[in-house]
């Protein structure tokens, strides 16, 4: 199953997470086997650069000449040999040879067997030669595209770039946000521990709990009853930055799937109103479903291009606006490993232009004295501090209040101050890379 998914991701451009979910739903695999398929798919995709680099040494005619399924089979087997300690190497080789016999012919299975047995004799891999540039070494060792590593070295320095790449290869933590309108974090935490879960309070968000080995918590009764939502810890900081108060009028411009919208509703104690907009009607429905599950009546959804909101909503009428802007997503590579191979430098530049337009457009809807929060789940300053700096230059009636906020008081010393915003990187807390800037319209 893992091999079939990998070939479809490569050949058809399928998204690994969607294909994996649909394949697992159709299968009758045990929880352990489903976990193994997930590990094999995400791990092989994540380490693709390193695996290709190592295989190139062992495949005499070069890996580019291999059929896609054969190359993916070798990568999948090599991933188990190099990175997984609970699967004996000889078992990984035998399984690969059996699959090669089924899918190919004697010649292919013999080649697969020969390559993998040579790998076993070679000892610790990868062997990285001396004299490589820092960018090339990091790219091979931590399996990231060279352009991205170079970019991060320019932006953050070689040590930080290496830390980002290493963190992106770690399995993502499972974190949940407590619906404090229904239960306190302490009470939910003690219920989880009583039920034998390895749960601890988040160090990042006062509303978060990190759970190890708890399976899919969206299938739990706590989720069904509206006590929690599954959300990354960095993402929980955004609603806290907006700091909506009961009775306020709030706009969430690009709101699907609704995690931040719901969190704002919880912080407002469900008093006031939140207009949650998303471009796609089916995604707007996800937001209303979330609100209903969590018992939030203050959320109203709409479906429009966020650039059009300035024409349909009253200017200077909202106390708080959240623009969680569409972005390159390079802060969430740990969750979506194929993202790093799909993105190109020009994707960052094109989305930054849209972000600037969105920020300019929705800012017209904010009351004097109100606060607009700009956030993204990316590490790229082209999409983050540069967008905010250009906006502030054009709009002297706005000022940054990021570094006088309680959120910065808590994050300072770990997160970075980039321009007029807070930049969290994946290695800071083991959560997603995120950028948050708080802008106030001057009275």
pLDDT grade, residue 215 (50/70/90)? Answer: confident
Residue 347 annotated in ligand binding:
no
Tell me, rounded to whole angstroms, the distance of Cα 33 from its chain centroid. Answer: 24
Residue 259 annotated in ligand binding:
yes
Q: Both tokens of residue 326?
A: 């569409």
User: 75, 165, 253, 377: which is the annotated catalytic residue?
Assistant: 377
377 in catalytic set: yes
Residue 430 annotated in ligand binding:
no
Fold assignment, 174-230: Alpha-Beta Plaits (3.30.70)
Residue 256 annotated in ligand binding:
yes
Residues in the chain: 443
Residue 114 annotated in ligand binding:
no
Give the CATH architecture of domain 1-122.
Orthogonal Bundle (1.10)
Fold assignment, 233-441: Rossmann fold (3.40.50)
Residue 364 has what pLDDT? Answer: 98
Rounded Cα–Cα distance for residues 246 and 273 (Å):
9
pLDDT in tens, 145-191: 999 999 999 999 999 999 999 999 998 989 999 999 999 999 999 99
Mean pLDDT within 59-72: 96
Q: Both tokens of residue 128?
A: 């990285």
Q: Exposed/middle/buried for 269, CB within 10 Å: 0-12, 13-18, 19+?
A: middle
Residue 443 has what pLDDT? Answer: 83
Whether the domain at 1-122 and the domain at 233-441 fall into the same CATH topology: no
- Residue whose entry in the numeric block shows the structure tokens 């969206």: 218
Q: Residue ranges per domain, the chain?
A: 1-122, 136-168, 174-230, 233-441
Tell me: pLDDT of 213 over 90: no
Residue 260 annotated in ligand binding:
yes
């Amino acid at each position: 199953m893992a091999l079939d998914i990998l070939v479809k991701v490569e050949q058809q451009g399928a998204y690994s997470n969607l294909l994996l979910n649909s394949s697992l739903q159709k299968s009758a695999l045990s929880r352990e086997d489903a976990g193994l398929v997930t590990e094999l798919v995400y791990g092989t995709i994540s380490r693709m650069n390193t695996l290709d680099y190592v295989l190139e040494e062992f495949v005499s005619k070069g890996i580019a000449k291999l059929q896609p399924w054969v190359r993916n089979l070798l990568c999948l087997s090599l991933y188990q040999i190099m990175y997984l300690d609970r699967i004996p190497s000889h078992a990984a080789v035998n399984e690969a040879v059996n699959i090669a016999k089924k899918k190919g012919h004697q010649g292919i299975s013999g080649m697969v067997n020969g390559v993998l047995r040579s790998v076993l004799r070679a000892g610790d891999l990868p062997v990285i030669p001396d004299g490589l540039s820092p960018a090339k070494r990091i790219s091979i060792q931590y399996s990231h595209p060279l352009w991205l590593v170079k970019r991060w070295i320019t932006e953050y320095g070689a040590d930080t770039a290496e830390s980002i790449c290493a963190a992106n290869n770690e399995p993502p933590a499972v974190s949940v946000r407590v619906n404090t309108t229904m239960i306190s974090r302490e009470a939910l935490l003690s219920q989880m521990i009583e039920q034998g879960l390895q749960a601890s309070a988040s160090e990042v968000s006062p509303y978060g709990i990190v759970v190890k080995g708890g399976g899919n918590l969206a299938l739990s009764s706590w989720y069904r009853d509206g006590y929690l939502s599954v959300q990354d810890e960095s993402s929980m900081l955004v609603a806290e930055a907006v700091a909506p108060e009961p009775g306020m009028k709030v706009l969430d411009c690009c709101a699907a799937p609704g995690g931040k919208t719901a969190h704002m509703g919880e912080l407002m104690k469900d008093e006031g109103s939140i207009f949650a907009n998303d471009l796609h009607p089916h995604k707007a429905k996800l937001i209303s479903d979330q609100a209903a599950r969590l018992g939030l009546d203050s959320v109203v959804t709409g479906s429009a291009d966020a650039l059009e909101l300035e024409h349909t909503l009253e200017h200077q009428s909202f106390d708080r606006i959240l623009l969680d802007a569409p972005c390159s997503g390079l802060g969430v590579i740990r969750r979506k490993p194929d993202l790093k191979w799909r993105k190109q430098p020009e994707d960052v530049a094109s989305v930054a232009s849209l972000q600037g337009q969105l920020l300019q457009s929705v800012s017209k809807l904010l009351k004097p004295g109100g606060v607009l929060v700009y956030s993204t789940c990316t590490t790229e300053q082209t999409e983050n501090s540069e967008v905010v700096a250009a906006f502030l230059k054009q709009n002297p009636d706005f000022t940054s209040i990021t570094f006088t906020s309680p959120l910065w008081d808590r994050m300072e010393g770990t997160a970075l101050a980039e321009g007029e915003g807070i930049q969290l990187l994946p290695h800071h807390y083991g959560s997603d890379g995120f950028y948050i800037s708080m802008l106030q319209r001057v009275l």
